[in-house]
Structure 1
Amino acid sequence: MPHQRTFALSEQASGCGRRLVVRNGHHQSRTVITAAGPIEVRAPRVNDRRVDEATGGRKRFSSKILTPWCRKSPKISEVLPLLYLHGLSSGDFVPALEQFPGGAAGLSSAAVPRLPRQWQDDHAAFQCDLSQTDFVYVWADGAHPQVRLGQAHSCVLVLLGVRLDGTKELIAPAEGLRESAESWADLLRDCRRRGMRYPGLVIGDGSMGLWKTLAEVFPAARHQRCWAHKARNVTNALSKSAQPGAAKAMQEIYNAEDRAHAEKAIEVFARTYGAEWPKAVTKLTDDRDELLAFYDFPAEHWIRLRTTNPIESTFSTVRLRTKVTRGAGSPAAALAMVFKLVESAQARWRAITGAHLVALVRAGAGFENGVLVEREVA
């Protein structure tokens, strides 16, 4: 049975009744690398007499099955950047792929480093309009992969969001300097210019630059401090002998069944450690409201809202890759590599638990200690 597109073209005819698209012999044979090994292919030649009405020029038939100059199947082309991203050095491609039938044919180690140029184009295209996507929850953090960014103290500022359907998505990666207020301001204002709506809750660490800028750019967004970062900061202010007990006491706070029990656990922590380590207690009590903000959201979401772990776990892959490459050659290439690594990991992200509740949060539904509050209609 002929292909539907081919059949449609064969029905096109000129005013004289002659077909405009006809087969005319074959092209020279060529070898195409596939997952099953090299295959010799001899594609038909097509004589296309159609005329483009808009330009007046001749149209050119192009096969969707075997594109012109194709030497590798799409699957092979997709595997190469994935292998490079996940730790295979460029010099190891040929000896590694030689173990597969025809896997290294037509491949050189010099061809692999050209991939970052395509990734830079992909990164530029990614920075597009955000007005069509509504992010209800946003994680914000700065990561420090071992790549050659623009300055000695540069880092990668990352925003990850949860859409209305509960799925997670990368919003923006950008280069920043020590997570400063200026760097966060550039990123957040750029997102606002691209149409990003204010998030319902932003989860981040204790970076004062982030919270100061967030209050200016998205004043309606609520703040949630990351408990993982806070726990490390508090325990670092204690003696080593007191750290295990303090860590367990803080678990009693953020694992409490409701806000009232969490407040009581904070008071217990303050009485236990306040006399000897007042600085540690101050680090906890000063951010009490931001640390307990998650209680005003669905209980199904609490485990994800208490920490910036979605960013931390994603960048463990980035650090693994950059240890192999020892840098990416230029700041633009480094940021493009980080973008492609996160984009690759994004395909494996699972939707947030209780995804159906995300839309209720955006609609303004009230939650008290994680439970939906029914409002009386006046």
Structure 2
Amino acid sequence: MVAAGPGEPRARSGAGTAVRDRRSPALISAIKATFGSLAKIQRCQIHKQRNILGHLPDHLHANVTAVLREAWKLGDATVAKRRLERLASSLEADHPGAAASVREGLDETLTLQELGVDGRLYVKLRTTNAIENLNSGIAWYSKNVKRWQSGSMVVRWVSSAILEAEKKFRRVTGWKDIQKLIRALTALESTEEATAERVA
């Protein structure tokens, strides 16, 4: 998830912007270029967990999974970060790849906690499941196209696929708490503006 505060130039205006996707250097670079210091990136916790476990023998999976889930359920991002750093330290000697995986992008796995998002909305936004469902719908809708002739053809087909998929969309679980996320983003922007004024 990428979230940015309001008040950015026209293309970025509104109470807040949220974009979610898998880790992609190009996507992250574009988001940071667009939103600057207001960009907030939430790494998919499910993919992060899989990456970490991929560096570990099977007999450690249950214990490490329990520590990850416990940390990601905490309401305090600072405490959660300490737990994850302890996990990385405990893995360092025997499983340095797993330790490095825990540390890589660690702060980005805690963004929602840092913003104070909790409850059902947190559960929904902590993974990329929602966007992956849409992606699979687009793939299914366009599976019979054998020859893509131009970029505009891709745009037309993807647009049509999204409109078709929209018929099956359900309201995001925890949607009533979205105002909490918007307030956090607004506060982030206010802090940024105050800092800029002091520097100026």
TM surpasses 0.5: yes
Aligned to 1:235: 53
Q: Describe how 1:143-162 pairs up with structure 2 within 5 A.
A: none
> 1:327 aligned to 2:146?
yes
Q: Residues 116 and 180 of structure 2 are in contact (CA less than 8 Å); yes or no, is this contact kept in structure 1? A: no
Give the Å deviation of 1:319.
3.0
Query: TM-score, normalising length from structure 1?
Result: 0.40
Q: Of Structure 1 and Structure 2, which has the larger fraction of its residues in strand?
A: 1
Query: What letter matches 1:347 in structure 2?
Result: K
2:117 to 280, 293, 298: 298
Q: Describe how 1:66-77 pairs up with structure 2 within 5 A.
A: none
List per-residue Cα deviations over 1:29-49 (Å, max 9, x = no partner): xxxxxxxxxxxxxxxxxxxxx
Q: Whose radius of gyration is greater, 1 or 2?
A: 1
Aligned to 1:340: 160
Matched residue SS, 1:330: coil
Give the Å deviation of 1:275.
1.4
Runs of at least 5 residues in structure 1 that lack an aligned partner in the other structure: 1-138, 141-160, 162-191, 368-378
Give the Å deviation of 1:227.
1.2
Q: Residues 81 and 107 of structure 2 are in contact (CA less than 8 Å); yes or no, is this contact kept in structure 1? A: no
Aligned to 1:349: 169
Matched residue SS, 2:107: helix
List per-residue Cα deviations over 1:290-332 (Å, max 9, x = no partner): 1111012331321122112111112222333444x15354244
Moved over 4 A (4+): 363-367
Give the Å deviation of 1:285.
1.8
CA distance in 1 between counterparts of 2:111 and 2:135 reads 26
> 1:206 aligned to 2:26?
no
Q: Of Structure 1 and Structure 2, which has the larger fraction of its residues in helix?
A: 2
Aligned to 2:13: 197
CA distance in 2 between counterparts of 1:204 and 1:330 reads 26
List per-residue Cα deviations over 1:140-196 (Å, max 9, x = no partner): 7xxxxxxxxxxxxxxxxxxxx9xxxxxxxxxxxxxxxxxxxxxxxxxxxxxx99733
- Residue 319 and residue 243 in structure 1: after superposition, are their counterparts in 2 closer, same or farther (change >3 A)? farther
Q: Describe how 1:31-110 pairs up with structure 2 within 5 A.
A: none
Aligned to 2:42: 224
Matched residue SS, 1:218: helix
Q: Residues 202 and 224 of structure 1 are in contact (CA less than 8 Å); yes or no, is this contact kept in structure 2? A: no
Give the Å deviation of 1:241.
4.5
Q: Residues 44 and 127 of structure 2 are in contact (CA less than 8 Å); yes or no, is this contact kept in structure 1? A: yes
Matched residue SS, 2:11: coil
Instruction: Point out which structure has higher relative CO (alpha carbons under 8 A, 6+ apart).
Output: 2
1:273 to 91, 94, 99: 91
Runs of at least 5 residues in structure 2 that lack an aligned partner in the other structure: 189-200
Aligned to 2:136: 316
- Residue 246 and residue 335 in structure 1: after superposition, are their counterparts in 2 closer, same or farther (change >3 A)? farther
